[in-house]
Each structure stands twice: as C-alpha cells, then as structure tokens.
Amino acid sequence: MRDGLMSFKVDWDSKDTHIFLNPRMDARERQFLTPLFRHAPVLPGHLWMQSSGSTQFINESSKWIALSKQAFLVSAQAVNEHLESSRQDKWGVALPLFHVGGLSIYARAFLSGAGLAEFTEAWNAERFSAWLGEHQITLLSLVPTQLFDLVQGGHRAPKSLRAVVIGGAKLEAKLAQQAWVLGWPVLASFGMTECCSQIATATLGSTFSDDLRVLGHVDVKTESDGLLQIKSDALMTGHAQVTATGPKWTPIELTSGYWKTKDQAQVKARTNLKTAEIEIFLTVRGRVQDFVKVKGEGVDLAALRSRFFDWALTEQISLTLDEYAVIDLPDAREGSRLVLAAQEGSSVNWTEALKRWNAVCFPIERLELRRVGKLPRSPVGKILGEKLREQLKDPA
C-alpha cells in the first residue's frame, strides 16, 4: 500500500460494511476513532468515508459519512452514462481509495466492465504522464493540484486519453486552457462525499464553462436563499460526528425528498438543439462560508481566489497550488480581513507579489501576508479552513 492506494476489491453485492482509513493515519489518530468502530450504528452494505473537509486529530471533531453500496452504484451508473463509458475503456486510478474520488472509480468499472490500473508510485508528474501512455488509459479523475503539476511540467496527454474529470476543488479557467493546449481533455466537475462523488460535470468535448451538466441521478433546485438542494438515490444514509466523547449519529434530513447543501448555486434549464431534450445545468458559486463581509462590503472568496490565480499566471509569478491559500480571518473592526497564507520554503517572493496585487485589486480585496510552517490539507489537497484559521489566529 502506497500513497493511499491499495489493491482491494469491494464486493458491491454483499452486505459487508467497510471503514476506509487513510493508511498514513498514526496510532494516535486511530485510537481517537475507536468510538466510531465500537458504537456506530450497524448499517449492512455500507461504506464509511471521512468527509473531505474534516480533520481527525485528538481533541478535534471528525465527520464520517455512511454511504450504501447501492448509492455508489447509482452514482457510478450516471457517471458512466455521462462519459459514455464501456468495457472498451480503461480507468487510471491516481486518487486514494479512502476518498470517494478514488473509490467511485471501482464502482464505475464494476458496472461498465472497463479495465482499471492503479498508479501506486509516489506522485511524480513526469512518471505519471508516461505511465498513462504505457497502460493506454482512456478515463481519469484528478484533483487540480495534479493537473497543475502536469501542465507546469509541459507534459502532453497520451493519445489514448479521452476524458479527465477534475474534482475535489474548482478547476480554474486559465489552468483548463493551458491543459487543453497540451492535449489534456479536462472536464470540470462538482461533487461531494455525501452524494458519492459527481453531481454535475462538463459535457464531453465542451470548452470551459462554469455551467456543468447535472448528472442523471440528481434532481436539483434552489430557493430564495440560493442554497443548492439535491434529490438523489446516491445520497448518504447519514453521518457520525466523532469527538473525544464518542460518535453522534445523524440520519440524513430530507425535506420533500431534497437535502439542503451549504453551496450557493444557480440552476439553469436549456434545450439540446440536437435532441430537443431539456438539460439542466448547474453553476456553483461557492460555500456559504466563502461569502464574507469586509468593511461592510461583501466579498466572494471563491471568485477572489480565481482572479488571484489568473492574475498570478498572467504576471508569470511561478506559484504552485501547494504553496499558498487565500482565506478570511475574523476582525473586530472590519468584520473580516483577507489573508494569503504562504507555506514556509515557498520559492515565490510573496512580499513583492502581494505588493503588486494590492496595487491593482479592489481595495476590499487587498491581501495580508501570513506565513505558516505547513498548510493543513486533506489527502486530496483541499485546504482545511478551520484548522488553518486556528494556525493563523492572533495570540490572545
């Protein structure tokens, strides 16, 4: 077992239940999770997976999602249909099995009869690019950090590859454009652990857009608050919040069959001119907590991060996605202040970079530089916001 990948076959038809742990979890963290193993509700035919935005250390809270095998298969069937996947395909697995982005690939291959190969080496963009060609991979799921490394290295996609679904975090337009130049057929997607991965994904062969096609297993709507609500047979059964005092089980709460997320979104209906069918598209604006007030003015952090990333690439600032994060911190006077947290050892001259950014951005979007030893991230590279805010908190 290396880098979170392991050769393990799920019996998708059995009533066996499994808990998927990060193999890098140390004994301390495993001990913290003991109450989940001992006192979680008995759910036959379920898979327990940690929420991608959760942490798992002693004295902290860890959120675990219970997903039925049937839910995984419902999601997998919809993804296969969207990607037109069949037994002629071969999936490449470069995401950890303890994350829905990795495990869901096995469910898709199980249903379609597609081949499957695991990249079990330590992540290296050059080696990975060659590996794809060696194994004639046709379908692939990656996170933006992996795509960034491939693009920055100038690695071209193998001719066998026909779709690369990008999930885990937002795919920025400029990165997508650079990937296309190198032949990477990238598709932006939006999904979540609670729904067994993809909810909406760009259509095959499409150019970049924030509008993603809602997959066939999902009905979506929004109401006056703009929060996305979803109905799907791929939804979780519930979740357990694990603390030092034990797990607290919460079944999923549905209203007229819909589950309310914390994502701001816009739903659009369009007519497919070729088939005359009505298709539903989703534009995700960001999490509720990404909308903050600075000096009384609203700031969309997701949009700010996109603009900063595009600006840095345009200005030829050689940043990498692993080296920084833009986040808000509470401020008694201004409501929130915006911070760029730079990891120690970064090759970027962040003082000079932010001087240039702050000279051209809107006044309320000016960033304050803070340095951290290491940015807290999930196994697929997602910033753990609350943990980072704790690291950046001013001493009392």
pLDDT in tens, 149-183: 999 999 999 999 999 999 987 888 889 999 999 99
Lowest mean pLDDT of 37-46, 133-142, 145-154, 247-256, name the range: 37-46
Instruction: Answer whether residue 140 shows pLDDT above 80.
Output: yes
Lowest mean pLDDT of 54-68, 79-93, 151-165, name the range: 54-68
Q: How confident is the model at residue 349 (pLDDT cuts 50, 70, 90)?
A: very high
Helix 301-314 / helix 173-181 crossing angle, nearest 10 deg: 40
DSSP annotation of 40 reads S
Lowest mean pLDDT of 108-117, 179-188, 371-380, name the range: 371-380
Q: What angle do CA 279, 170, 324 make, to 5 degrees?
A: 175
Interatomic CA distance for residues 179 and 148, integer angstroms:
8
Q: What percent of the chain has pLDDT over 90?
A: 57
Q: Report pLDDT for 54.
A: 52
Q: How confident is the model at residue 321 (pLDDT cuts 50, 70, 90)?
A: confident
Q: Report pLDDT for 142.
A: 95
Q: Report pLDDT for 36.
A: 74
CB atoms near residue 184 (< 10 Å) = 24
CB atoms near residue 256 (< 10 Å) = 7
Task: Work out the average pLDDT over 5-28.
Answer: 78
Domains delineated in the chain:
18-287 (3.40.50.12780), 295-392 (3.30.300.30)
Instruction: Answer whether residue 266 shows pLDDT above 60.
Output: yes
**Cβ 285 vs Cβ 170: under 8 Å:** no
Q: What angle do CA 252, 258, 262 make, to 5 degrees?
A: 75
Query: 352-365, pLDDT tens digit by residue?
Result: 999 999 999 988 89
Instruction: Answer whether residue 53 shows pLDDT above 80.
Output: no
- More reliable by pLDDT, 317 or 298: 317
Task: Work out the average pLDDT over 214-220.
Answer: 97
Lowest mean pLDDT of 212-216, 220-224, 258-262, 345-349, name the range: 345-349
Q: Report pLDDT for 61.
A: 67
Instruction: Answer whether residue 58 shows pLDDT above 70.
Output: no
Instruction: Answer whether residue 395 shows pLDDT above 60.
Output: no
Interatomic CA distance for residues 198 and 189, integer angstroms:
7
**Cβ 116 vs Cβ 141: under 8 Å:** no
CB atoms near residue 355 (< 10 Å) = 11
In terms of Cα–Cα distance, which of 251, 252, 243, 336 is closest to 290?
336
Query: 363-384, pLDDT tens digit by residue?
Result: 889 999 999 999 988 777 788 8
- More reliable by pLDDT, 332 or 342: 342
Q: How confident is the model at residue 60 (pLDDT cuts 50, 70, 90)?
A: low
Q: Report pLDDT for 107.
A: 96
Q: Report pLDDT for 298.
A: 80
Q: How confident is the model at residue 257 (pLDDT cuts 50, 70, 90)?
A: very high
**Cβ 212 vs Cβ 190: under 8 Å:** yes
Q: Report pLDDT for 56.
A: 45
Compute CA distances 156 → 108, 150, 152, whole Å: 26, 8, 11
- Taking all residues of the chain, what is their mean pLDDT, rounded to a whole number? 88
Q: How confident is the model at residue 59 (pLDDT cuts 50, 70, 90)?
A: very low
Query: 28-50, pLDDT tens digit by residue?
Result: 777 777 777 777 788 999 999 98
Q: How confident is the model at residue 55 (pLDDT cuts 50, 70, 90)?
A: very low
Max avg pLDDT among 59-68, 317-326, 333-342, 350-359: 350-359
Q: How confident is the model at residue 52 (pLDDT cuts 50, 70, 90)?
A: low
- Please name the residues in contact with 278: beta carbons below 8 A apart, sequence gap of 6 or more: 269, 270, 271, 272
Q: Report pLDDT for 218.
A: 97
